[in-house]
Structure 1
Amino acid sequence: MPKVAKNTDFLQQLAEVREEVAALRRAGWERDELPFYPTSLHGLVYEDNTSFTTLWETVLSPRTAKLSLGLVFIGDVVTATNTGGDWQVVFNDVTVAASGTVPATFAFVFPALTLDLSPYRAAAQLKVQVQIRRTSGAITGGKYGGGGSIGGAPRYARLL
């Protein structure tokens, strides 16, 4: 195997390291973790509304092309009646980027999404909301008295 003589000049090595660090900074990180914040009216991650309500949200600078998002949802059980519902991810209070259902089986669902941020790359900020609504289940009782609740949370959020 051929051997390569390394430069022993300290200043030359320092210049090479600085150039590599500058290139990495220009390229950005391959993955950035993204925090989400709870916004439920009850202050917890459960809601019993029959219209879409935001549970979690964040505002980001869309410097990457994709958002990898993992979610978890579960319905409630009130006097042997299971609660089901719908979930959606909304951009800027308007655009529904992804949606799905929470089955009325009192079982967890784990949606894993890769959302395209390309249309928003020129924007200074992008608001991302995770919303839920109850579509079936008890109409009284439950965690807050308005019927069964839907619980949800982000498991991970990464900018790719």
Structure 2
Amino acid sequence: MPQHATSPDFLQRLAELEDQVAQLRRTGWERDELPFYPTSLHTMPYEDNTAFTTVWESILAPRTASLSLGLVTIGDVVGTTNTGGAWQVVMAQTDIVMSGAVAATFSYQFAAQVIDLAPYRALTELKVQLQVRRTVGATTGGKFGTGGAIGIAPRYARLL
């Protein structure tokens, strides 16, 4: 029968336990990054449509508890006309889980949220789409000729 000798020194055993707990905590912070791919016909990340258009998307197997998602948006300026819009994050083709406005200024804005993946755990594949549309501003000129082109892009996407 194998025997296991433990140190009778309480402080030494406590130090070993603290080291093991610290190791477990560090491994618990590991995260998987989720890549996004551009889908817009105008390429990344600008769009000038007045209807929501998917600009980035990804497909994942929802085996984790949540998705931490960070976005960056930017408006446009055509001549002296500022152009802005709206953005949304759509899951499973229909569920809007995040949304906001793209300010009608030529400056970056940031959005972040942790999205609960529990309602999607039974799915084998889950599509995540980043969509944007132009709502105010120029209707001619701009990057593609039909008005200001607003942008959205993922800053980070971590499966937690």
Task: Give the TM-score normalised by structure 1.
Answer: 0.82
1:67 aligns with 2:67: yes
Q: Among the aligned pairs, what percent are the same residue?
A: 66
How many angstroms apart in 1 are the aligned matches of 2:62 and 2:138?
Answer: 40
The runs of at least 4 consecutive aligned structure 1 residues that moved more than 4 Å come to 27-30
Report SS of the residue matched to 1:111: strand
Alignment of 1:1-150 (within 5 A): 1-2=9-10, 3=12, 30-150=30-150
Give the Å deviation of 1:107: 1.6
Deviations 1:131-150 (A, max 9, x none): 00000110000000010011
Match of residue 152 from structure 1: 152
Match of residue 17 from structure 2: none
The structure-2 alpha-carbon separation of the partners of 1:121 and 1:39, relative to structure 1 and needing over 3 Å to count, comes to same
How many angstroms apart in 2 are the aligned matches of 1:47 and 1:101?
Answer: 14
How many angstroms apart in 2 are the aligned matches of 1:110 and 1:28?
Answer: 27
Residue 82 of structure 2 aligns to which amino acid in structure 1?
A: N
Give the Å deviation of 1:69: 0.2
Give the Å deviation of 1:44: 2.5
How many angstroms apart in 1 are the aligned matches of 2:61 and 2:28?
Answer: 13
The structure-2 alpha-carbon separation of the partners of 1:29 and 1:127, relative to structure 1 and needing over 3 Å to count, comes to farther
How many angstroms apart in 2 are the aligned matches of 1:106 and 1:38?
Answer: 21
How many angstroms apart in 2 are the aligned matches of 1:68 and 1:158?
Answer: 5
Give the Å deviation of 1:103: 1.0
Deviations 1:88-139 (A, max 9, x none): 0001211111100011122211000111110001110100000000001100
How many angstroms apart in 2 are the aligned matches of 1:108 and 1:102?
Answer: 9
Residue 108 of structure 1 aligns to which amino acid in structure 2?
A: Y
RMSD, matched Cα: 1.7
Q: Which sections of structure 2, spanning at least 5 residues, go unmatched? A: 1-8, 14-26
